[in-house]
Structure 1
């Protein structure tokens, strides 16, 4: 069985180091795991219950919900903006949290990783993303963490997939998510 892991990147910038980290995850996914990098978070309107109407959900939000619905697990890549989660990633979580009781994240294994310029690698934003995703119904994998500090310097001339340490850590993260997604559910 192939485990489908939906990757959402909280940075819209073309040269984003978090996007590069997600591209590395796609490339490094071990056998039995497939990482699908979602495109289109920028196209999703801010969550508004007035436009979240059954049969008339904005197309970009519907695509996100469909992608999450067909995924076995979720992997969020979060930079840190002013000490917290980027709005685009929070918006994705908000859309996936609805409709109430039928969250696209409900009981799905979810991990948060990322890189940031600061010395802590974006841990505050990652903690906020875990909190929001957990409230939205995800099975947050609290012990799976990867915060890479100094992204601007570390990845100035090296893609994350070509950084041996990062590649090994990311491969381990994906392997652990795979294990959680295929673990028997306790009765």
Structure 2
């Protein structure tokens, strides 16, 4: 059975982040041949094109972690109807310098949680637009605009009973997406 390493990018630095909790919970729904690595983005300097020739160690580490993965999982909050600045900063760093885009070709899933009624719908749409430009094939369906309500997570940090069927379905689709895209990439590379 093939093993898949997934790089997880959480767009929040807050210690008690709902999105970090969701990321931890949803990865428990994946099959045993999938492993996940939460990427560190809080120590990245602000992106400055002048630094492209001499990227910081934290940027090099980020790009190496992405390169070592067979897929990406973004779990993001919504700040002011878009993605958080820390997430955009990480995206910009890993896509530069021009021609050295670490995100390219990585099958991607996007979700997020918020206390608002529409969850993170607008942030996810903005992120999908960015990922399309960066050539990161992103799973279209099912979308997951999750509102933080009591019971979303249980006392042990697992997905709660009311959301389990939906989020298990989301994870099952994500797993199939990564496997399909990885197979396509392998087939194309062997030609």
Scaled by the length of structure 2, the TM-score of the pair is 0.86
Give the gaps of 5 or more residues in structure 2: none
Answer whether contact 2:107 2:137 (CA < 8 A) is retained: yes
Give the superposition deviation at 1:3: 1.1
Distance 2:167 2:153 in 1: 19
The structure richer in strand per residue is 1
Structure 2 equivalent of residue 51 of structure 1: 51
Give the superposition deviation at 1:167: 3.7
Matches within 5 A, 1:171-186: 171-183=168-180, 184-185=183-184
3-state DSSP class of the match of 2:27? Answer: helix
Answer whether contact 1:114 1:122 (CA < 8 A) is retained: yes
**45 and 90 in structure 1: CA distance in 2 versus 1, 3 angstrom threshold:** same
Structure 2 equivalent of residue 79 of structure 1: 77
3-state DSSP class of the match of 2:42? Answer: helix
What's the Cα RMSD here?
Answer: 2.1
Structure 2 equivalent of residue 24 of structure 1: 25
Answer whether contact 2:153 2:160 (CA < 8 A) is retained: no
Structure 2 equivalent of residue 65 of structure 1: 63
3-state DSSP class of the match of 1:35? Answer: strand
Question: What number of residue pairs does the alignment pair up?
Answer: 183
Distance 1:181 1:157 in 2: 28
Distance 2:100 2:175 in 1: 23
Please state if 1:115 is matched with 2:116. no
**16 and 57 in structure 1: CA distance in 2 versus 1, 3 angstrom threshold:** same
Distance 1:159 1:131 in 2: 35
3-state DSSP class of the match of 1:141? Answer: coil
Give the gaps of 5 or more residues in structure 1: none
**160 and 30 in structure 1: CA distance in 2 versus 1, 3 angstrom threshold:** same
3-state DSSP class of the match of 1:181? Answer: helix
Answer whether contact 1:20 1:159 (CA < 8 A) is retained: no
Question: 1:100-148: CA deviations, max 9, x gaps?
Answer: 2231111111111000111000100011111111112211222242111
Please state if 1:41 is matched with 2:41. yes
